[in-house]
Chains A and B, each alone.
Chain A
């Protein structure tokens, strides 16, 4: 059973950088892509991007200029950085696994990030 747990500040100031990490409990995080998805209150899910353990990334074109993902294979975790945040970036942020089926089969519980001064 794969378990994912997001962590990071729940409050970020406008224009600053949002930073989140996702800890993965599985033997090895190799062989999968690791994704970030967000959901503003009452709105649809939005895919942010994904990374694998080779460092190969794919980002949502609408967020690409502000997103950086990284992976730490030693500690079985991966991270998201979203720069120049505004109130529109307020959302529940989820991390998830994208395995061989290319869909999101395991998800973290989500963490609420509010952008406010």
Chain B
């Protein structure tokens, strides 16, 4: 099984901040990585796939990078709607998710 580990688990930030979340895979997954945003009581929403491709309709302040075993999700200027939990997911072999990073208001 490929294990996915995100850091930090919780991140406190203010509107306008630049935010970076890291996701590490236990083995190389090339660029087969997606990022999702989930708000309480709601289904996850796809933000980025293939490590850096922005899903249609997702604001350009979201960006992804990385390959192999280390990946990042960056929000260039945090907006009120961005306070949520973010999950990475590998789809190189089966599918597994990270434990999530909660972005909360500072």
Chain A partners chain B: yes
Residues of A within 8 A of B99 (CB): 44
Pick the residue among A45, A94, A108, A109 that contacts B89 (CB under 8 A): A45
Pick the residue among A44, A62, A104 that contacts B98 (CB under 8 A): A44
Whether A88 is near chain B, meaning CB under 8 Å from some CB there, is: no
9-residue interface stretch from B10-18, B21-29, B42-50, B62-70? B42-50
Whether B71 is near chain A, meaning CB under 8 Å from some CB there, is: no
Whether A78 is near chain B, meaning CB under 8 Å from some CB there, is: no
CB distance from A91 to the nearest CB of B (A): 13
Residues of A within 8 A of B42 (CB): 109
Please state if B34 and A103 are interface contacts (CB–CB under 8 Å).
Answer: yes
Residues of B within 8 A of A104 (CB): 34, 36, 44, 46, 89
Q: Which of A53-68 contact B (CB under 8 A)?
A: 58, 60-62
Q: 1/0 per residue A84-117: CB within 8 Å of B?
A: 0000000000101000011111011110000000
Whether A46 is near chain B, meaning CB under 8 Å from some CB there, is: yes
CB distance from B70 to the nearest CB of A (A): 19
Give me the 9 closest cross-chain CB pairs, A-B, nearest first: A107-B43, A47-B95, A45-B97, A103-B49, A103-B34, A44-B99, A44-B97, A105-B46, A101-B49
Report A's interface with B, CB cutoff 8 A: 44-47, 58, 60-62, 94, 96, 101-105, 107-110
